[in-house]
Structures are given as structure tokens and as C-alpha cells.
Amino acid sequence: MPEADGTRKSDGAGAPEVRVSTPPAITADPTEKRDINEVERTATLEDGYLDEKDKQPDYSRMDKEVGKYASDKRVEISEEKSNELRRLIDRRVLVVMVCTYFLQAIDKGTMSFASIMGIVDDTGLVGQQYSWLTSCIYIAILIVEYPQNYIISRVPIGKYLSFMIIGWGTVLACHAACKNFTGLVVVRTLLGIFESACQPAFLVLGAMWYRREEQASRVTYWYMMNGGQQIVGGLLAYCFTLIKTGPLKNWQWLFLTYGIISVFFGFFVLWWLPDSPMRAKCFTEEQKHLMVERVRDNQTGLQNKKWKKEHVVDAFKDPQTYGYAMIALCTTLPTSGLGAFANIIIKNFGFTTLQTQLLAMVLGVVIIIVLLSSVWMANKWNQNLIVMAAWVIPSYVGTILLMTLPDDTKAQSIGLLICYYMTLSFWSAATLNLTMISRNVGGQTKKGVVIAVHFVCWSAGNTIGPQVFLSNDGPRYFTAFATHIGCYTALVLTIGALRWYLASENKRRDAMAEAGVREARDEKMIHAFDDLTDRENPNFRYVF
């Protein structure tokens, strides 16, 4: 039995003395825990439905760094203190994610802006070659996504992300030196390899630093930079279009400038972003301890560098994996084509080059409104999948009108432009899908596999998307928009099936808890850091 001073004595078998987890005030240094492999795993029976083996975390499964800061049982943190910690995390982590994704989005968007600034003629692009300059990025991501996720789960994530940002900035600047299709394919492929780390790293960072209820808004904040880059990128592209003289063409200045900015930002990330709550030198020991504890009830784990074969098997047996992957495919196939051909489509409505660059800013505002309103609705009604399905309806309407309305007058051209803006409402599904992966998948190896499968399909959709915009099908691209309608239909069907599955799983686990199954009603969440998958942990409940 524990002594009055809060320590548990050795039983004489060589086990060291262990300090029992401290209360929320954190009067003891949490780093005083011994090596978790040596911890004596006896327990008192404080809960009627938990026996001895359930009263302590499974230290053999827990990451050693996490074990130094995680308490043996749940630590209650006040809402005021939790909000204070979240603000500290936002300043260190969210700022980096938002700025990084903005740079990545604007770096990818440069090709769309350059398409009407002369790059097609200057480099001699013909036929489908322009489309392949977008597809080759995602073919590269498709190939490297699995090893990329493997690396991300095993290296200091802050340092690795900074290295990849510096790499893609360097490659982006090299676009300015390209003279033909071959050179552009090389740099675009390298750009895809370096940028492939961004979104997977963000999902890992989100699950590591934020509570489940905070993750949806954080993903939306960085994902809506797709709209932000349209606003800022459209304005900057307008400015670069005004360059008519000098040693470089205006599109070359565009790539060179964005590339240099990205390189400098990469070095900033190296200095500013912590690798994990446990390694964050910018926070006190007490703050690090509480930052670990505040994500306990996520039950998706925090960090574990051990590769587990059983997690891989679990991932491929889980219907969730294929649901999230299908949603990724059905959203990115339309997105990539609409993104690559946005300015070409808008210009074909009868607008000038400068007008088109400025109208891209309106497109960005539309994207931000869609993403913010959808996450607000999902949080307000706690209905992620229903909100995703509802936001597909405007995409249906806008796409059908684009295919059927004539384009004979200025008023009709403006109407078609509005219809084009409407087609992008399905982007809310892409954002909420990412938040569900980070909140619903437990176990670090399994999470890495699910993220890899998701981004393989994400890459496949982005690869195919520009190819359905056939050069001989312009300017209305009926084949492409008909394909998009098929994607919307498949998306709605997938959302319905996924919602049924997750709801059924929650009902089954609730029934287990009501029947007295102790593992399904552990309010103290003792095994939250044991690196269990969501299917191994009956106490886990899904968000849908």
C-alpha cells in the first residue's frame, strides 16, 4: 500500500520506488519518474469495475518520452488553464501550420496564375502538357506518401518539416530557369516530393497538441489558406503581370520570389516549432506535463516510434480507412482540375487577364466562407458527416448550370462565373474528412497507415483531376464537369455508409458499457497513452 508521503515502496524484488502521479497543482517534478520499463505495476482497487491490471497504464506499450510526462491516471485541468495552454500552443504550432500551408497553397497556385502570364508559350507547351505539370506533382506524392508517413512518425517532426519547406522553396525558385516541358516536369516532380510532408505532418501535430473538440477548427484554419492564397495570390499575380521589361519574364519573377520567401520561412520553422510537447524547450516542465495530460481523453495516443504490425493489419481491416480514402478521391479529383484550370475557365467567360487575376481573389473569399461556415455548423450541431453531405448540394447545382446555361451575353457570363464559385462548396467535405482522421483513428502506427492510404487516394484524385479537362473539350469542358457530378454522387454515398458504420460502432460500445464491461467505461482513461488502436480500445467513441 502507498505510504502517506505519496511514494510506493519496493517489494524487495528489485523494483524501484515510484512516485504516484501528482495532483493538478503539480507539486512534484514529473520528470522524476523512473524508466517506464522498470516501473512496479501494482495498483489499488479504487473503482469497482477495474481490477489490478486495469488500474495502471501498460508501460510496455507506451512511448518513453510520453511516459516521463503522463500521469498514471487522469489529471483534471480547469477550463481556464486549458484555454491558457491552448493559446500557448496556438502561438507555437497553429501559426506555423497556417503560414506553412499558405505558402504551400500559393506555391502550387503559381502555375495556375502563370498559365495566363505567358508560361505556356514561353516554354512551348502543347496538348495535355500543361495538365501533366499538375498531375506529375501528385504522381510523385502518390509514390512517396507511404515512406513519407513512416519517416514522419519516427523523426523530430519540427526539424523534418522545416527541411522539407526549405527543399520545396529551393525547387520552386528553380522553376524560373526552366525553358521547356522537360525542365518543368523535373522541378514539378521534386516539388511534389518535398510538399508531400505538409498535410500528413499537420494531422500528426494536430492529434499531438490539441483536444478532439479543438482539432476541427484548427484543421479548418490552415486548410482555408487555399482560399487565402487565391486572395493574396490573385493580388500579387496582378502586380507581377504589370512587369513588362527586365531580364526575366513576369512569371519567372513570380516563381523566384515565392521560392526565396519559402526558404527563409523554412529556417524560421526550424527555430520556432517544437518537435513535441515533451521536447518543447519554450515551455516549463509543468506546462509540458499539463499539455500531455490535456490530450489524454483524445484516446488516440500522442507519440510512439515503435512500428507495430498488428496496427497495420487493423488499419486495412477497418472500414474507416476506405471511407476516408474514398472521400479524399471524390473531393480531390474535382478540386485539382478546378484549381489548375480556374483562371483559364474564368478568362474564357470573356474577362481580361487582369480581371481574371482579380476575380481569383473573390474565389478565395468563397472558399474561406464555405470552410468556416461548414466547421461552425459541424461544431454547433455535432454532425460532421451530415454537414459534409449538405455542402455537396451547391456543387451539384453549380456544375449542372455550368453545363447547361448559354454564354452569349455579359450577364450570362457573370451568371456562369457565380455558378463556378458554387461548384467549390464540396471543399468542406475535404476539410472535415481530415479532422475525422485525426480524431477517430487511434494508435500511432495505425494512424500513419490510414493517413498514408488517405493521401495515396488524395494524390490519385489530384493526378486524374487535370486530365479530365481535355484540350479539345474547351472552353466549356463538358467531359470534366460530367465527371465531377459522378464524384459528388459517389461522395454522398460514401458519407452515408461511413456514418452508418461509426454510429453502429458507438451503439455497440455503449451497450457493452451498460452491460458492465469494465473496458468500455473507463472514465479515468488510464490506457489513453498505451498506443491502442481505436478498435482495440472499447472505451473509444467515434466522432461523426
pLDDT in single tens digits along all 544 residues of the chain? 333 333 333 333 333 333 333 333 433 343 343 332 333 332 322 333 344 445 565 555 666 666 676 666 667 788 899 999 999 999 999 999 999 999 988 877 788 788 878 898 999 988 888 888 888 888 898 889 888 988 998 889 999 999 999 999 999 999 999 999 999 999 999 999 999 999 899 988 988 899 888 988 999 999 889 888 878 887 888 888 888 888 889 999 999 999 999 999 999 999 999 998 888 899 999 898 888 888 887 777 666 677 788 999 999 999 999 999 999 999 999 988 887 787 788 888 888 877 887 787 788 888 899 999 999 999 899 899 999 999 999 999 999 999 998 888 888 888 989 999 999 999 899 999 999 998 899 888 898 899 999 988 998 998 888 888 887 887 788 899 999 999 999 999 999 999 999 999 999 989 988 887 777 776 666 666 667 888 888 888 999 9
Contact 538, 519 (CB under 8 A): yes
> What's the rounded Cα separation, in Å, for the pair 199 and 498?
22
Contact 210, 350 (CB under 8 A): no
Q: Which residue type is seen at 193? A: I
Alpha-carbon separation of residue 97 from 93, 219, 522 (angstroms): 6, 9, 34
Q: What is the DSSP string of 378-425?
A: HHHHT-HHHHHHHTTHHHHHHHHHHHHS---SHHHHHHHHHHHHHGGG
Contact 453, 437 (CB under 8 A): no
Cα atoms in the 13 Å half-sphere on the side-chain side of 284: 6
Rg (CA), the chain: 25
**Which residue is associated with the grid cell 500579387?**
236
> What's the rounded Cα separation, in Å, for the pair 251 and 237?
9
* DSSP code of residue 302: S
Output phi, psi for 11, to 5 deg: -90, 10
Q: What is the model's pLDDT at position 57?
A: 58
Cα atoms in the 13 Å half-sphere on the side-chain side of 324: 29
> What's the rounded Cα separation, in Å, for the pair 345 and 420?
9
Q: Which residue type is seen at 522? A: D
Task: Tell me if the pTM is above 0.75.
Answer: yes
Q: What is the model's pLDDT at position 59?
A: 54
Pairing assessment for the beta strands 18-19 and 7-8 based on DSSP bridges: antiparallel
Of 266, 217, 264, the C-alpha closest to 96 is: 266
Cα 86-71-156 angle, rounded to 5 deg: 60
Q: What is the model's pLDDT at position 63?
A: 63
Q: What is the model's pLDDT at position 62?
A: 63
Cα 519-287-3 angle, rounded to 5 deg: 60
Q: What is the model's pLDDT at position 4?
A: 38
Contact 150, 308 (CB under 8 A): no
